[in-house]
Amino acid sequence: MKEKLDILLVNVGGTKKTVYQDLSKTFSAVDPPFWVALTAGYLRKNGFNVDILDSGGLNLDEKETADKIIEKDPQYVGVVVYSQQANICTPIMVGVRKVCREIKRKDPERKIIISGWHPSALPKRTLEEEDCDFVIEGEGFYTLKGLLQGDNYEKIPGLWWMENGETCNTKRPENVKDLTTELSDVAWDLLPFNKGIYRTFNWLALNDMKTRTKCASLQTSLGCPYHCSFCAIHATFSERRVRYWKPEWALNQIDILVKEYGIKHINFNDEIFTLNPKHYLPIAEGLIKRDYDLNICAFARVDSIRQEHLPILKKAGINWFKLGIESSSEKIRKNVTKGRFTRDDVRKVVQYTKDVGISLCANFMFGLPGETYETMQETLDLAIELNPEFPSFFATMAIPGSDLYLKAKEKGIRLPDDEDGPGWSGYSQQGYEFLPYTTEKLNAEDVLAFRDYAFDTYFRNPRYLKDMEEKFGKEAKEHLKAMANIRLKRRILGD
């Protein structure tokens, strides 16, 4: 007889068609849920019987997900609302709501816990609006441990629950201090790598589409010291600093991924991997010694890249930076406290990376506070001038948990989660219901129309396509052309 599961951790993911429209067929990523596996590893290490259902990866609908959960019969269902970044996890709540309702419809007594970035930003609202028994505020490790070992609710930090129709909660828990010791285990073995369901970002695999499913994501640090007002990461961590796993731990995780699962593409999801040389250089040196021939992407800031370290990072297999440029305007970046670098600093850093052969997935945002048509055009012009291998064009969102969200609520700026708004699906960049932030001079329709125009302009540029063919081959060029041919429908633009 099998031992009863203490908890089944569920990665719902987004409703792919809702979040990505037709891009979901081939072009979007399907990311192995690192945070879910990390949570499972922590709980298992502490003696609990844990399993994972990657409903999002397996593309299960709410009925299939509920059936699987009831079949596994756990004491608790832990729905984890995480994505590659805090800023893109809110649309997952569309699927979370459907799954929780279906579980409760089929099994009303089943205990459901919701944790993650979005619930940490809006714990009270999540508890009151969703069909769940508990909501977790914060990282969740200590809170889940307290629940599973049967502690009195009032002694469990970070817990929200209902009692006699009233909302109850305890203070936020402390964050994990020693990541390497306390979060030493990642339950990779509970993820369905063998089903070939995961696929990395299409741009990360442009040089080798055939191995795109041999992918994983990994964090080697948690947190961020910066104050970008459009970012929601601090809703979970409630502090502005970085904690690190030891480089040996990161290298050990990579050893497991390569040797046991044949991983070729790795996405370092650290908020800023290039922040601390004492951390990233030992990882790079360890990768060079191992000679795994990996294809790795790491997040970077313009003001965190050190030219002298770029050859080492490239030799280690870090072939891509996800670089946050955001806007060509220093004034607009200042409005959202995004660095103090100049346009010339951006040009220099981009040239440094090109010189060593590191490709760029460069982030650009339209519709930041203070934006006009002229400044948006300047940003697009800068993107075309820099010619990154893959620009990510975003329309600004005031995401739950961000400072911009609080300011928008204070000023009465229209948001997706207003009573007359489309709801959480309105936070999906590629979604039909997407509703961007409104600036002083531009409404949401203006910003979204320009963002989609920028996408078409860039990816249909003959010079760009020729460069990509020369760098990555004809297959990559045809893939990019096919992606550009998919037209996203937008409700607010009258589609």
Residue 26 within a domain: yes
Bridge partners, residue 216, by sequence: 266
Boundary (domain end) residue, out of 151, 169, 187? 169
Are residue 218 and residue 154 in the same domain, yes or no? no
Boundary (domain end) residue, out of 169, 184, 207? 169
Handedness of CA 380, 382, 388, 392 (dihedral sign): negative
Q: Looking at residue 20, which CATH number applies to its domain?
A: 3.40.50.2300
62-72 and 92-106 helices, crossing angle to 10°: 50
Are residue 488 and residue 398 in the same domain, yes or no? yes
Are residue 130 and residue 253 in the same domain, yes or no? no
Are residue 130 and residue 214 in the same domain, yes or no? no
- Distance from C-alpha of 36 to C-alpha of 333, rounded to nearest angstrom: 33
Q: Looking at residue 264, which CATH number applies to its domain?
A: 3.80.30.20
Chain segment 271-281, per-residue pLDDT in tens: 999 999 999 99
Exposed/middle/buried for residue 485 (C-beta within 10 Å: 0-12, 13-18, 19+): exposed
Boundary (domain end) residue, out of 169, 187, 209? 169
Which pLDDT does position 23 carry in this prediction?
67
Cβ atoms 89, 116 nearer than 8 A = yes
What's the whole-number mean pLDDT along residues 126-151? 97
Residue 68 within a domain: yes
Q: How confident is the model at residue 1 (pLDDT cuts 50, 70, 90)?
A: very low
What does the longest C-alpha to C-alpha distance in the chain come to?
Answer: 68
Chain segment 429-452, per-residue pLDDT in tens: 999 999 999 999 999 999 999 999
Q: How confident is the model at residue 234 (pLDDT cuts 50, 70, 90)?
A: confident
Write down the pTM of the prediction: 0.95
Which pLDDT does position 340 carry in this prediction?
83
210 pLDDT more than 60: yes
Are residue 143 and residue 205 in the same domain, yes or no? no
For residue 253, the surrounding DSSP H or E stretch is helix 247-261
What's the whole-number mean pLDDT along residues 201-225? 95
Which pLDDT does position 24 carry in this prediction?
66
Are residue 479 and residue 348 in the same domain, yes or no? yes
Share of the chain above pLDDT 90, in %: 89
- Distance from C-alpha of 108 to C-alpha of 60, rounded to nearest angstrom: 21
Q: How confident is the model at residue 351 (pLDDT cuts 50, 70, 90)?
A: very high
Residue 178 within a domain: no
Residue 466 within a domain: yes
Mean residue pLDDT of the chain comes to 94
17 pLDDT more than 60: no
What's the whole-number mean pLDDT along residues 474-478? 96
283 pLDDT more than 90: yes
The residue range of the domain holding 283 is: 199-493
Exposed/middle/buried for residue 345 (C-beta within 10 Å: 0-12, 13-18, 19+): middle
- Distance from C-alpha of 61 to C-alpha of 321, rounded to nearest angstrom: 34
14 pLDDT more than 60: no
Are residue 305 and residue 447 in the same domain, yes or no? yes
Are residue 92 and residue 215 in the same domain, yes or no? no
The count of domains in the chain is 2
User: What are the tokens at 250?
Assistant: 């990161």
Cβ atoms 92, 12 nearer than 8 A = yes
Are residue 283 and residue 162 in the same domain, yes or no? no
At residue 324, what are phi and psi to the nearest 5 degrees? -85, 95
Chain segment 312-344, per-residue pLDDT in tens: 999 999 999 999 999 999 999 999 988 788 999
What's the whole-number mean pLDDT along residues 453-462? 97
Chain segment 26-79, per-residue pLDDT in tens: 888 899 999 999 999 999 999 999 999 999 999 999 999 999 999 999 999 999
361 pLDDT more than 50: yes
Are residue 346 and residue 458 in the same domain, yes or no? yes
Residue 1 within a domain: no
Are residue 215 and residue 143 in the same domain, yes or no? no
Are residue 290 and residue 206 in the same domain, yes or no? yes
124 pLDDT more than 60: yes
What's the whole-number mean pLDDT along residues 148-154? 96
Residue 288 within a domain: yes
Which pLDDT does position 339 carry in this prediction?
78
Residue 188 within a domain: no
Residue 273 within a domain: yes
Q: How confident is the model at residue 146 (pLDDT cuts 50, 70, 90)?
A: very high
462 pLDDT more than 90: yes
Cβ atoms 116, 88 nearer than 8 A = no
